[in-house]
């Protein structure tokens, strides 16, 4: 027997909001007495007191009031689902979804307790505001302010917790976005004040360095090349040995004194010493400007912005020093943006400068001792003050036009050495996926794959300032030794002039001697 309830004591009202079927869009209010839920053959739902006039087969369920809510009982032979679960009896909670029969219809159970908030949809709240604007006889401006106030109050008090949570979450997301955008705008504004236009060339150089960095795709291409041909160094060495045993001997003896130079520089504020850095977003990623270039700032919290470079040098037997080009030791002098940045209080600084020598697994840190003021020459010394184990002799006299010379160096930097390293090494490097500028050089050195390339040519012209020859070389070979057939240095390779039939320029050895003397190394 069902428990009796004091209907007068019930302090709530309920309704069935019909969501599907012919009755959708309407609601049936539920009183405080037992009700029968009738589902007609045409899918119309009625909730009324149980009577004998309605066909018994249409009675699908019964609703009984309890102390706090209502209980629904499915009648035998009829199917009722609550929140997707097939039930025989269930105490209903606010917003429960009830489906009557195999194919619906579906209704939402809505419970309104005394003193409890009555949740409204946003559409209902807006509709009420529009109706007030239309029918009120208050002055229009008063109506507008009152509607705005009512909208704000009702949206915060009469909507569901889920809706309010979603609104707060949306506001937080918008606030974060606005904060990020504001931060980006401030940084861009600071860069404009700082001289954004003058940083364009440097950021372009940094971006270009990143684009030129080795990728897994580059390694795949190298593997294909290595499968089709021998390394360039082996081919050239073989050709030289076939043409002249003396040249082969010079190459074999000299290669251990030819250094691969690897470095990076950046810019720092002259007064504060702060370095120009990448700007990092909240996600830890480097931020990019609207022009697609790295966003740089003295206030950046990312890594220091590096301009990486490579070159060639060689050790000198008499001096215990390394000789290279001035534009290798002071690479920023070749950049057109140096004067512009200097005008903004920035000065270039070397971040890292190391050399690798064949048959030596570890890099050696070096520092600039002196750079020539009238020639493209510079002298480097090891920071540990130890002299090189081997070195080249400096020729006492310049070459003559028609003399044979050999140029040694590291044209194209890391790529040429990877081409010589063999498919197995490239494949192993590809597996590690570590193709960074510094790590690739370290791996090559550990595998004893640091070795210069050699090319042979003929001297075309000799002056006190320049020696011209036709030996093949390219960018990255700057600073390499130009040797005669006795293995003595007659010049330092400095420039490529492809517009002049592949001619190259070298600084005469007399200027090398003068610089070493000025540096107190000879």
Q: Taking phi first (over 0 means left), then psi (-120 to 50 degrees means alpha), and beta for anything else, what does residue 207 get?
A: alpha
Structure tokens at 285: 């990623």
Distance CA 482, CA 75 (A): 104
User: CA torsion angle for 161, 163, 167, 168 (degrees, to 10)?
Assistant: 20
Structure tokens at 113: 């307790």
**3-class SS at 268?**
strand
Is the pTM higher than 0.75? The answer reads no
The 8 Å CB, 24+ separation contacts for 153-159 are: 154/120, 154/125, 154/128, 155/122, 155/125, 157/117, 158/117, 158/118, 158/119, 158/120, 158/125, 159/119, 159/120, 159/121, 159/122, 159/125
CATH topology of domain 7-113: Tumour Suppressor Smad4 (2.60.200)
Confirm or reject CATH 2.170.120.30 for domain 200-518, answering yes or no.
Answer: no
Cα-Cα end-to-end distance for the chain: 117
Going residue by residue through the chain (522 aa), what tens digit of pLDDT does each one get?
Answer: 444 444 444 456 888 888 778 887 788 888 778 888 888 888 888 888 876 565 666 788 999 988 888 999 999 888 898 888 899 999 998 888 888 887 778 888 888 765 545 556 677 667 667 866 675 567 888 778 877 877 777 677 666 667 777 777 888 888 888 887 877 777 766 655 555 445 555 666 566 555 555 666 666 666 666 555 545 555 555 554 555 566 788 888 999 999 999 999 999 998 888 998 988 888 878 888 777 778 888 887 889 988 899 999 999 976 678 999 999 999 988 776 666 777 788 899 999 999 999 988 999 999 999 999 999 999 999 888 775 567 899 999 999 999 999 999 998 888 888 888 888 888 888 888 777 889 999 999 999 999 998 888 899 999 999 999 988 777 768 899 999 999 999 999 987 765 555 578 899 999 999 999 999 887
Domain boundaries, the chain: 7-113, 122-159, 163-194, 200-518
């Amino acid at each position: 027997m069902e428990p009796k309830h004091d209907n007068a004591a019930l302090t709530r009202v309920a309704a069935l909001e019909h969501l599907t079927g012919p009755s959708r869009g309407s609601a049936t209010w539920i009183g405080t007495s037992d009700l029968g839920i009738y589902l007609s053959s045409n899918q119309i739902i009625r909730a009324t007191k149980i009577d004998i006039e309605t066909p018994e087969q249409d009675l699908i369920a019964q609703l009984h009031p309890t102390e706090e809510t209502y209980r629904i009982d499915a009648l035998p032979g009829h199917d009722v689902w609550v929140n997707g679960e097939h039930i025989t009896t269930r105490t209903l909670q606010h917003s429960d979804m009830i489906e009557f029969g195999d194919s619906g219809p579906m209704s939402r159970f809505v419970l309104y307790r005394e003193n409890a908030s009555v949740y409204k949809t946003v559409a209902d709240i807006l509709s009420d505001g529009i109706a007030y604007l239309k029918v009120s006889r208050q002055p229009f401006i008063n109506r507008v302010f009152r509607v705005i106030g009512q909208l704000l109050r009702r949206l915060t008090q009469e909507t569901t917790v889920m809706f309010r949570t979603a609104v707060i979450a949306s506001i937080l997301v918008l606030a974060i976005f606005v904060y990020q955008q504001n931060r980006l705008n401030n940084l861009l504004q600071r860069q404009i004040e700082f001289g954004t236009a003058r940083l364009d060339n440097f950021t372009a150089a940094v971006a270009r360095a990143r684009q030129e960095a080795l990728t897994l795709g580059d390694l795949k291409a190298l593997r294909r090349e290595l499968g089709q041909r021998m390394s360039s160094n082996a081919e050239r060495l073989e050709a030289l040995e076939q043409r002249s045993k003396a040249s082969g001997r010079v190459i074999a003896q000299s290669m251990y004194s030819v250094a691969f130079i690897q470095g990076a520089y950046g810019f720092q504020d002259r007064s504060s010493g702060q370095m120009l850095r990448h700007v990092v977003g909240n996600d830890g990623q480097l931020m990019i400007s609207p022009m697609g270039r790295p966003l740089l700032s003295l206030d950046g919290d990312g890594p220091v912005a590096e301009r990486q470079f490579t070159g060639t040098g060689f050790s000198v037997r008499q001096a215990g020093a390394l000789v290279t080009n001035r534009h290798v030791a002071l690479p920023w002098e070749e950049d057109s943006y140096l004067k512009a940045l200097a005008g903004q209080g920035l000065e270039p600084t070397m971040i890292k400068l190391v050399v690798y020598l064949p048959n030596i697994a570890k890099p050696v840190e070096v520092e600039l001792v002196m750079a020539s003021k009238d020639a493209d020459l510079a002298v480097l010394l090891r920071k540990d003050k130890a002299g090189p184990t081997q070195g080249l002799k400096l020729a006492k006299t310049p070459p003559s036009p028609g003399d044979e010379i050999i140029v040694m160096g590291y044209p194209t930097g890391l790529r040429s050495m990877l081409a010589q390293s063999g498919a197995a090494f490239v494949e192993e490097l590809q597996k590690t996926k570590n193709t960074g500028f510094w790590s690739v050089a370290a791996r090559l050195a550990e595998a004893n794959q640091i070795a210069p390339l050699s090319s042979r040519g003929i001297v075309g012209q000799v002056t006190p300032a320049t020696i011209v020859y036709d030996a093949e070389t390219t960018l990255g070979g700057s600073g390499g030794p130009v040797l005669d057939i006795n293995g003595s240095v007659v010049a330092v390779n400095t420039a490529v002039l492809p517009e002049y039939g592949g001619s190259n320029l070298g600084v005469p050895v007399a200027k090398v001697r003068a610089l070493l003397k000025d540096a107190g190394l000879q």
